[in-house]
Amino acid sequence: MNSNLEKPTIYNQLLELLKGKEGKLVHTVDVRQALQKRHGTNLGSLILSDFCYNRFNSGIAFQNHLFEYVTRSTYKYLGENYPYSGFIFHKKKGAVDEEVVGEWRNGVKFMYHSETPVSQEQLERMYEEYIRIFRFELAVLKCAPAELRHLLGRIGELHCAMNTKGSLAKETNQHGFDVIAENGRCISVKTTTQKNGFIPFNSNTFNRFDDVYVLQYINDDFKIIYYGEKERVREIARLYEKTFEVDISKLKKLVR
């Protein structure tokens, strides 16, 4: 055997190891151990996130894509030249939060050259993805809609942003509003599964937004039951401790 033969690159090692496992979840520890056993690969030299479609790491060419990043230790193996669609995330050194630096559209990569607001097309894709997760929770995991408040809340925000050609607030619940409409007005979004009852608003942050957008999930559909100025909502609200409570039946009458 020729001892001068070069060891395959890590990229080629991964291709060999994971051939036929497209669509499967893999774990960093298992991949490292397998490559070390087969090729004597240095465990510290293998960083699976360097080979992701949806994650960009500083200092790499970002040309070899094999995985979808799921968590720090879990990846979905997609293989070469996958027609991937989705956002590309990057976390700057020392930063707390990730940022979106690009996106894939059916296997074509687009890198942003500056901080780019989320487009309407991106909002639509996110909305579709959240709806798919919502339906999975309902149909497969048998969750009641009322138990999925976080999902419903995000679906409502995306619904509002699409409908107003606006953008999501960068810091969720930080400023008392959820969406900034195309006309610059700040909107508080509420999503409910109730047929009757009350919608709560924090009275301490009521002065921080301009409009109210209330979405109701009923009969397997999302319906806007009110979108308009907040003062009309305040007029029909009752104050309980530090919360404005608005009767759903009264809210619906505002649009008639």
| Predicted local confidence at residue 174, as pLDDT | 54
| Predicted local confidence at residue 3, as pLDDT | 44
Q: Which residues of the chain have pLDDT under 70?
A: 1-6, 114-117, 170-175, 256
Sheet holding 86-90, edge to edge: 86-90, 99-105, 108-111
Sheet holding 25-27, edge to edge: 25-27, 74-77, 67-71
Q: Which amino acid is residue 167, in one-letter code?
A: S
| Predicted local confidence at residue 197, as pLDDT | 94
| Predicted local confidence at residue 118, as pLDDT | 76
**Neighbouring residues of 93: CB distance < 8 A, sequence distance ≥ 6:** 58
- The reply to whether 77 and 161 lie within a common domain is no
- The reply to whether 101 and 203 lie within a common domain is no
| Predicted local confidence at residue 49, as pLDDT | 96
For 251, phi and psi rounded to 5 degrees?
Answer: -65, -40
- The reply to whether 59 and 140 lie within a common domain is no
Q: Contact at 8 Å (CB) between 199 and 190?
A: yes
List, for residues 55-100, the tens digit of each pLDDT value: 999 999 999 999 999 999 999 999 999 999 988 999 988 888 888 8
- DSSP letter (8 states) at residue 210: S
Write the DSSP string, 45-77. Answer: G--GGGGBSSB--TTS------EEEEETTEEEE
- Give the containing element (helix H, strand E) for 33: helix 28-39
- The reply to whether 88 and 206 lie within a common domain is no
| Predicted local confidence at residue 1, as pLDDT | 40
- The reply to whether 104 and 149 lie within a common domain is no
Q: Distance (Å, rounded) from C-alpha 116 to C-alpha 167?
A: 11
Last residue of a domain, one of 59, 87, 111: 111
Residue 235 falls within a domain, yes or no? yes
Query: Which of 157, 150, 167 has the alpha carbon at shortest distance from 100?
Result: 167
Distances (CA, A) of 142 to 7, 134, 137, 138, 191: 50, 11, 6, 5, 20
Q: How many domains would you assign to the chain?
A: 2
What pTM value is reported for the model?
0.76
- Give the containing element (helix H, strand E) for 131: helix 120-139
